[in-house]
Amino acid sequence: MMARQTLKVSETFRVSKRALRQTLKVSKRVLAVLLIAHLALTIVYSAIVPLGEAPDEADHWAYIVHLARERNLPEGPSMTQAKHPPLYHATAALIASLAEPRFDFLRANPDVQIAAESWGDAAGPNFFVHTSLEEQPWRDGPLAFHLARLWSAVLSTLTVWATFRLMRTALPKRPAVALAAAGLLAFLPEFAFIGGSANNDNLAALCGALALWGGLAIFRAASHAGRGASANDTCQAPGTSEVPGAWRDIIRAGWWTPLALGFGLLAKVSTAALWPMVAAAILAGVWVGEAQGAATGPDGRREQPADPRG
């Protein structure tokens, strides 16, 4: 009777494991469709939105052009977006340099009115006068601008992927939730719109998603390593400096986290808000792992509390 029950449990486990593998295969295909769809959507936005008309885009483009042409950081208050660290703008400048980054094709619109009440029933006017220089086929300055926008679209698509990985790490047995999160982000109109514009928010968002994913991965690895760490520490020869296997696994689990935090800070200073969050997650994981390790014996089995009745 006992053997039959054990066989039934084993068969159920094999079936559920096979079903999970099949679900993961399907989720990878759905994710690929989501990523392609988001990339296509951001490219459409980048192609149809007039150059320089997205939020702060003209100022970001001026920063990119300066880095591409002058090869040094701007000084003084004349360039408003120069208050930001240069990583996004420097990488965009490298890509835009495949063409000829210029700003002179953008002419300020003298009739622009900022106050919404002055628009009447019409849509708000553009900040710039857009001429035939921006028509396809793109050349020179407009082509360089569109290359910078394409770089933003790639970063935005990678952010959708990182969000999927973050949710897969949070809920490893529920890939549908990760797909829902990635799909929601991929088709948010404002996210896709900014993803198709020259804006350092795209790199900052990617670094933020990667940092949160890495911090959560380290938390999970550390919190589940209590038994393994306890057993490895017991077997390790005294006086050796070798890192126990459990801790190597913890470090590997989110090795990209410090890179994401550092690059994020070089893209936008506000990503510094993620540092204490990620640090708290890592420390919490270590604390949980240590607590689990203290509750297990050298053989990795959980120690039973002594019977108070003796």
Condensed to tens digits (0 to 9), the pLDDT of residues 263-303 reads 999 999 999 999 999 999 989 988 887 777 665 655 555 55
Q: What is the pLDDT of residue 75?
A: 87
Q: Is the dihedral of CA 132, 134, 137, 138 positive or negative?
A: positive
Q: What is the pLDDT of residue 244?
A: 59
**How much of the chain, in percent, has pLDDT values that exceed 90?**
60
Mean pLDDT of 201-215: 98
> Under 8 Å CB-to-CB from 199, ≥6 apart: which residues?
54, 55, 56, 57, 60, 88, 152
Q: What ranges do the domains of the chain cover?
A: 25-113+125-153
Whether the pLDDT of residue 129 is over 80: the answer is: yes
Which residue would you say has higher pLDDT here, 91 or 122? 91
Q: How far apart are CA 156 and CA 161, in angstroms?
A: 9
Q: What is the pLDDT of residue 3?
A: 56
Comparing 2-6, 94-98, 99-103, 139-143, the range with the smallest average pLDDT is: 2-6
Q: What is the mean pLDDT of the chain?
A: 84
Whether the pLDDT of residue 165 is over 90: the answer is: yes
Q: What is the pLDDT of residue 115?
A: 65
Comparing 10-14, 77-81, 89-93, 222-226, the range with the smallest average pLDDT is: 10-14
Comparing 35-49, 196-210, 241-255, the range with the smallest average pLDDT is: 241-255
Condensed to tens digits (0 to 9), the pLDDT of residues 68-91 reads 999 999 987 888 898 999 999 999
